[in-house]
Amino acid sequence: MNLPIYLDNNATTPMDPRVLEAMLPYFTQKFGNAASRNHHFGWVAEEGVDYAREQVAKLIGASEKEIIFTSGATESDNLAIKGVFEMYKDKGNHIITAVTEHKAVLDACKHVEKLGGKVTYLQVQKDGLVDLEALEAAMTPETILVSIMYGNNEIGVVQPVREIADIAHKHGALFMTDATQAVGKIPVDVNKDGIDLLALSAHKMYGPKGVGALYVRRKGPRVKVTAQMDGGGHERGMRSGTLNVPGIVGLGKACELAYNEMESEAARLSALRDKLQASLTELEESYVNGNVAHRLPHVANVSFKYVEGEGLMMAMKDLAVSSGSACTSASLEPSYVLKSLGLSDDLAHSSIRFGLGRFTTEEEVDYAIEVTKKAVTHLRELSPLWEMFKEGIDLNSIEWAEH
Amino acid sequence: MAYSDKVIDHYTNPRNVGTLDKSSTQVGTGLVGAPECGDVMRLQIQVDENNVITDAKFKTFGCGSAIASSSLATEWLKGKSIDEAITIDNMDIVEELALPPVKIHCSVLAEDAIKAAINDYRVKNGLAPIELEKSHH
């Protein structure tokens, strides 16, 4: 076992060597511009792109004509939300999303508000799931788009996308999903799930950084988005810019591998994740955040009360994890996703996200469990809050001097 | 964020972790910060009849810099008179630990904890608390 151990696969994944192998010829030998339709070099590059388009489409049950290549999920989210708003604003100006969405969605929605759009940011329930009744109640005749992520990046909660899609469609709105964390990890099917637009990214599924795709439905209904980039009219005019051929080939290969290996890999990872969660919650006052049944197989988000996340991460120096604490930021505001579950600020500050991945071994998980338990126990001995808790003092009864 | 070796050393081997008897008139306790801000520091001093700090203990809930700042503060407090201790400035801590700008807050907390502990001791012994103006940087 090599240290440090990487357990931050929600941030990014290492590239699978098989993906790299597929990409390499496209840097030096097959370097043509996929838009060069009049010579061999262009055709070879185009073939690579066409094949990747099929690989991506297959993974999500789409047709290859519905795949628009982008620079990643952030661009896909922006193109979908701003593009739909601009295309359909004469039909209505209302968009619905949730407070637990990724910033790429939330900030694109803020942009739409500046353009005169109206956005409803749905609160979620305390397990992180969208309240379907609240969604239904928020729908108006002006609603053109509902954008709810498939699986959450911080807590791993998987939303009831089919039900959400049905509600959106019933009211004549499109359904978009940021599926960055879900695609390649759990079965995602744009037809079964009723998805009209879907954002995905290669580097979250063992592919390269800087490449992703937007799925845009072509039939029932035919969805259109207004391009956000002007230029050569690439990607059916929706996303101009010379195609990142090696990246796209890598994305395609990553999708193919995920398609072939998803089932066994999801079973393996959820077993490891369950073991991790069960062992860590043996510690007193530790809690798994987010719905336990509806979640991605590789994500565990755990709060350890009375210790602070960043301090904890420092004690687990051989583990690369992530914290919902914001002690590194000037605002001192902890994760908005955790807070939206109703977690108190101190509990949100005390959270650690473990993101397992394709290359995570059981030995590494066992090591992570041991190191985390030791670190939590050590830091609690240092924690005045833990001491007060043990003495039975109600921390809410203390008048804290805020800084 | 890369921490200095001194922060890592204090964090890994914190000095003077513990609890003094807060009901003793010789003990001053300062509890600053708030759980919702992500850091709470408790600093305690034991003072002898000559106004000299003979012992100091801390417990801190917070990030590595907060733990290191309070650990360093207890080291500095021991052996100092109350009058000397009150002059410890947060920027001294920043400098000693090479804290990055985003972590200056932790040193402020330590300075405030020192002053709060001294004032607790003063009040317990019938002295007026020292005005805690926000002198730190």
pLDDT in tens, B28-66: 999 999 888 889 999 999 999 999 999 999 999 999 999
Contact flag A349-B31 (C-beta cutoff 8 Å): no
Phi/psi at B68 (5° precision): -65, -40
Q: How far apart are CA A282 and CA B83, in angstroms?
A: 47
Reported residue count of chain B is: 137
Mapped onto helix, strand or coil, the DSSP state of residue A52 is helix
Which residue of B lies nearest to A316 if distances are taken between CA atoms? B12
Q: Which two tokens stand for residue A274?
A: 């369950």
Q: Say yes or no: A220 contacts chain B, CB-CB below 8 A.
A: no
A349 is in an annotated binding site: no
Residue of chain B with shortest Cα separation from A330: B102
- pLDDT reported for residue A326: 66
pTM: 0.93
Please pick, among A327, A332, A393, A398, the residue that the annotation labels catalytic.
A327
**B36: nearest CB among A327, A344, A386:** A344
Q: Which amino acid is at A375?
A: A
The Cα–Cα gap between A127 and A341 comes to 6
Cβ neighbours of A375 in B, within 8 Å = none
β-partners of residue A139 are none
Find, in chain A, the residue whose alpha carbon is nearest to that of B103.
Answer: A328
Under an 8 A CB cutoff, do A403 and B33 touch? yes
Q: Is the pLDDT of residue B130 over 80?
A: yes
Q: How far apart are CA B63 and CA B97, in angstroms?
A: 14
Q: Would the annotation count A242 as a binding residue?
A: yes
Nearest C-alpha neighbor of A98 from the set A171, A28, A149:
A149
A181 belongs to an annotated ligand binding site: yes
A393 in contact with B, Cβ within 8 Å: no
For strands A94-98 and A143-147, give the pairing: parallel
Please give the domain boundaries of chain B with CATH numbers for all domains: 5-124 (3.90.1010.10)
Q: Is A161 on the interface with B (CB under 8 A)?
A: no
> What b-and-e string marks burial along B2-30, b requiring 16 or more CB atoms within 10 Å of the CB?
ebeeebbbbbeebbbbeebeeeeebbbbb
- Contact flag B61-A383 (C-beta cutoff 8 Å): yes
Nearest in space to A299 (alpha carbons), one of A264, A265, A261, A273:
A273
Query: How close, in Å, is residue A298 to chain B by CA atoms?
Result: 26
Please, what is the end-to-end C-alpha distance for chain A in angstroms? 43
Kindly determine whether residue A400 and residue B59, on different chains, have CB atoms separated by under 8 Å: no
Rg of chain B over all Cα atoms, to the nearest angstrom: 14
Say whether B63 is catalytic. Answer: no
| Global ipTM | 0.92
Which secondary-structure segment (H or E) carries A114?
helix A103-114
CB spacing of A382 vs B34 below 8 angstroms: no
A153 is in an annotated binding site: yes
Q: Please state, in angstroms and rounded to a whole number, the distance separating the CA atoms of residues A71 and A213.
A: 8
CA-based end-to-end distance of chain B? 22
Phi, psi of B31 (to 5 degrees): -120, 115
Residue A4: asked if its preceding bond is cis (omega within 30°), the reply is: yes
pLDDT in tens, chain A (403 residues): 899 999 999 999 999 999 999 999 999 999 999 999 999 999 999 999 999 999 999 999 999 999 999 999 999 999 999 999 999 999 999 999 999 999 999 999 999 999 999 999 999 999 999 999 999 999 999 999 999 999 999 999 999 999 999 999 999 999 999 999 999 999 999 999 999 999 999 999 999 999 999 999 999 999 999 999 999 999 999 999 999 999 999 999 999 999 999 999 999 999 999 999 999 999 999 999 999 999 999 999 999 999 999 899 999 989 999 998 766 555 567 899 999 999 988 899 999 999 999 999 999 999 999 999 999 999 999 999 999 999 999 888 888 876 5
Out of 3.90.1150.10, 3.40.720.10, 3.40.1360.10, 3.40.50.1390, select the CATH number for domain A5-10+262-397.
Answer: 3.90.1150.10
pLDDT of residue A319: 96
Q: What pLDDT was estimated at residue B133?
A: 60
Query: Starting at the edge strand that comes first in sequence, how are the strands of the sheet with B53-61 ordered?
Result: B27-34, B39-47, B53-61
Q: Which of B34, B18, B39, B96 lies closest to A310 in space, CA to CA?
A: B39
**3-class secondary structure, A348:** helix
Topology (CATH level 3) of domain A17-257: Aspartate Aminotransferase; domain 2 (3.40.640)
Largest CA distance in chain A: 79
* Interchain contact, A402 vs B36, CB within 8 Å: yes
Distance CA A53, CA A200 (A): 13
What residue spans in chain A does CATH classification 3.90.1150.10 cover?
A: 5-10+262-397
User: Which segments of A269-350 are extended strands (E)?
Assistant: 286-288, 299-304, 319-320, 322-323
What residues of B are in contact with residue A349 (Cβ under 8 Å)?
35-36, 38
Q: Residue A109 catalytic?
A: no
Strands of A171-269 (E only): list them: 174-178, 197-201, 212-216
Residue A215: both structure tokens together: 């799925």
Q: Do B35 and A395 touch (CB under 8 A)?
A: yes
pLDDT higher than threshold 90 for residue B128: no
